[in-house]
Amino acid sequence: MRCATNKRDIMDNNEVLEIFQKTDALLKGHFKLSSGLHSGQYLQCALVLQHPQYAQLLCRQLAQEFAEEKPTAIVAPALGGVLVSYEVARSLGCRSLFTEREEGKMVLRRGFGLGSSDRVVVVEDVVTTGASTREVIDVVTQAGARLIGVGAIVDRSGETIDFGVPFKSLLALNIKAFKPEECPLCKRGIPIVKPGSRPT
């Protein structure tokens, strides 16, 4: 049985950003993103999502964006999106799946499956270039399922991404990211940290 989310106004940028600041999840330094780009700021969603009350609140808000579309499955890339997928699916009363890398390629494992009757929303914790999101989308479409939307807690793409379906986020931040060869932090000799879940 699908249970709909309670309708209420979606949180605005400042409310979501306040949660990140409260949990010390907006980091400053020199970071290598999973996209390979470098940045002076990093949003560590895990520091927010470690608090069940914030995980439930944020993901319930994200779920509201897709409630009218009646998805049958929420799919996310491991590792960062797993909890987001679970909480969004819980709010919508549908399945939560996640993809993993097998020999460098994103796949569904653990007996997970999708079919032509599935209406899927792909979710992430943070979207920067959208590369991993597109990999998950490929898995969904190759399984014959219908992609109906993409969601993220944070969109730091600069609103330049088109997934071909509605893309919803709770927090949009335009944080500069640089190619390694153009990174001013590298040129200043600042040590780099890779805080994400994807292996270097």
Enumerate domains of the chain plus CATH numbers.
Answer: 13-187 (3.40.50.2020)
Predicted pLDDT of residue 12: 85
Greater pLDDT, 137 or 42? 137
Mean pLDDT rounded to a whole number for the chain = 91
DSSP 84-123: HHHHHHHHHTSEEEEEEEETTEEEE-TT----TT-EEEEE
Predicted pLDDT of residue 159: 74
Cα 39 to Cα 16, 31, 77, 152, 156: the distances in Å are 21, 5, 22, 19, 11
Which tens digits make up the pLDDT trace of 172-198? 988 888 999 999 999 999 999 988 655
Structure tokens at 137: 């989308």
- Contact assessment for residue 69 and residue 119, using Cβ atoms and an 8 Å cutoff: yes
Predicted pLDDT of residue 35: 80
What is the distance of C-alpha 51 from the center of its chain?
A: 17
- Is residue 1 very low, low, confident or very high in pLDDT (cuts 50, 70, 90)? very low
Predicted pLDDT of residue 119: 98
Local structure of 195: helix, strand or coil: coil
Q: Which residues are bridge partners to 95 per DSSP?
A: 73
